[in-house]
Structure 1
């Protein structure tokens, strides 16, 4: 049995840096709302850190898009993003447990696309967002109605992101525990 190196170092770094930055942005925005206790006594400007993590997320997403077209074979979108026929074939084979994939399976591939789009939209909307209290994105002054629109997207999509992360973790647990696949 040959070992195939599927996830190259830049892709692994992207993944774990994205985890760190998303968790950091989430922690900071939740901490900004706390007015009592040790968090408020630290003197940290939580929203400044939230925006820094957001910039990092946006940079990471841009890297992943470039890497998805120019990276090694298994990092390329053309290698793992497939159409509905292959997804249906995968689901039929998965019922019989007769299939394994190097890298993302077809459903996992579309999960990657969904997460990249969702995190990319979240980071981009933050550039234009303004809540008129704690935070103004660097592009929020361009157009007040556009700023309000992106601010509503930025806040409304929080639970979509939480759901996508939860689904991602559940899929990893399922494949690790029940399918015995890494």
Structure 2
């Protein structure tokens, strides 16, 4: 980002706080399964993640411009068009989430909700000890890890492709202003 061009605020403080709180709670939930004596942290980490996602969903309908789902969740036609541009190497830079990134956000949030609900169900008298629920919870956890890896790969790829550090932007909330060919919406 050039020092001559003032950055613009994209992600508000709450979006960034919720993002990093979700990262921390998911990491803690995962670490608690590794046999490091942190098993008691698993359930609270799951509930925190579920609470964070609930707040993010609310903020996705009532928050600032780039926090709103309506700003970054695109229809099938636009997502496929963007994927074609990406494959051809001529995709535009988006100030907010690109069409694939928008759907990744929804998938990640949905998986965390599914994990939180299956984890909670496992603590109820009715579902306690149900093997299928345990299997489902573990499968969802692995699916989340795969999506997190894809998310990180997408962030790295997009950062390199458009010469901007998206991780820094997720801490500061700021990105370089739009240039020629950038998509502002």
Aligned with 2:145: secondary structure?
helix
Map 1:14-163; keep pairs closer than 5 Å.
14-31=18-35, 39-40=36-37, 46-94=38-86, 95-97=88-90, 99-129=92-122, 137=123, 140-143=124-127, 147-163=130-146
TM-score by length of 2: 0.79
- Residue 120 of structure 1 and its aligned partner are, at CA, apart by 1.1
Contact residue 121 and residue 128 of structure 2 kept, 8 A: no
Larger radius of gyration: 1
- Residue 91 of structure 1 and its aligned partner are, at CA, apart by 2.8
Q: Which runs of 5+ in 2 are unaligned?
A: 167-185
Contact residue 6 and residue 102 of structure 1 kept, 8 A: yes
Deviations 1:12-38 (A, max 9, x none): 00111111110011101222xxxxxxx
TM-score by length of 1: 0.80
Contact residue 128 and residue 151 of structure 1 kept, 8 A: no
Contact residue 81 and residue 106 of structure 1 kept, 8 A: yes
- Which protein has greater RCO, CA pairs closer than 8 Å, 6+ apart? 2
**In structure 2, C-alpha distance between the alignment counterparts of 1:143 and 1:166, rounded to whole Å:** 31
Q: Give the 4+ runs in structure 1 shifted more than 6 A.
A: none
**In structure 1, C-alpha distance between the alignment counterparts of 2:57 and 2:15, rounded to whole Å:** 11
Q: Which runs of 5+ in 1 are unaligned?
A: 32-38, 41-45, 130-136
